[in-house]
A = this chain, B = another copy of it.
Amino acid sequence: MPRTRFEEQLKLLHTTLIQLGALCEDAINAAAKALLTGDQALVKKAMEAEQEIDRLESEIEALCFKLLLHQQPVASDLREISAALKMISDLERIGDQAADIAELTEHINIPLDSTNLHIADMTKAVIKMVTESIDAFVRKDIDLARKVMADDDVVDTLFDQIKGELETMVKSDAASISGALDLLMVVKYLERIGDHATNVAEWVEYSITGVHPEGN
């Protein structure tokens, strides 16, 4: 295959990765809105997005293996493809976690708009991380990648804060324990989505510099 064919396939890899990232955002958005509104149509939407994410992950993986086997790329081309293989595994798990959140919303019996829980803030923060991590890859923007890594601290702080809010809620009403445990799972999934977006950002840095920030 000529070099141009390689470049064409790399471009296809980029556009498919952007699609995959957009689907992850859709899945988290749908799951979060389902949680806040109880709208079951949104639960279904998150589940469908998750299936589409799995399909696209397989498609990108096959494309990466094709590029590796037929082009035997070296240096930055090899790094870009190996980084893409890692990133899709994180994006796939983001889809799983959005579906897990959507599934939990069917059981949660606490009207969230009547609480002071900071779940909407946390959702907004993780969606931003996911969007920016993909943007950083496509634009090869190392500063944006590092911003995503730094933002993970904000998400972790929100997790601790909401955990504290749930404790207070249960202490004043022990009967709310069942909903509190489910909500803790929801915020744990959101926190994990933040971790996966951080992983994506770290692979972006690796694909640009050749050095993984965590030494992996």
In the bound complex, residues from chain B placing their C-beta under 8 Å from that of A167 are 177-178, 181
Q: Which of A29-37, A115-123, A132-140, A168-176 contacts B (4 or more CB under 8 A)?
A: A168-176
Chain B CB within 10 A, most for which of A57, A69, A78: A69
Q: Once bound together, how far apart are the Cα atoms of A78 and B70, in whole Å?
A: 13
Q: Once bound together, how far apart are the Cα atoms of A57 and B185, in whole Å?
A: 28
Which residue from chain B places its CB closest to the CB of A85 in the assembled complex?
B85
Number of copies: 2
Per-position binary interface string of chain A over residues 175-191, scored 1 when its CB falls under 8 Å from any chain B CB and 0 otherwise? 10110110011001000
Which residue from chain B places its CB closest to the CB of A172 in the assembled complex?
B174
Chain A at the B interface: mostly helix, strand, loop or mixed?
helix
Per-position binary interface string of chain A over residues 88-127, scored 1 when its CB falls under 8 Å from any chain B CB and 0 otherwise? 0100000000000000000000000000000000000000
Chain B CB within 10 A, most for which of A61, A82, A170, A185: A170
Q: Once bound together, how far apart are the Cα atoms of A174 and B56, in whole Å?
A: 46
A181/B178 in contact, CB under 8 A: no
B65/A82 in contact, CB under 8 A: yes
Which residue from chain B places its CB closest to the CB of A70 in the assembled complex?
B72
Q: Once bound together, how far apart are the Cα atoms of A170 and B166, in whole Å?
A: 13
Tell which of B65, B82, B170, B188 touches A177, judged by Cβ atoms closer than 8 Å.
B170
In the bound complex, residues from chain B placing their C-beta under 8 Å from that of A72 are 69, 72
Q: Once bound together, how far apart are the Cα atoms of A33 and B68, in whole Å?
A: 43
Which residue from chain B places its CB closest to the CB of A192 in the assembled complex?
B192
In the bound complex, residues from chain B placing their C-beta under 8 Å from that of A57 are 216
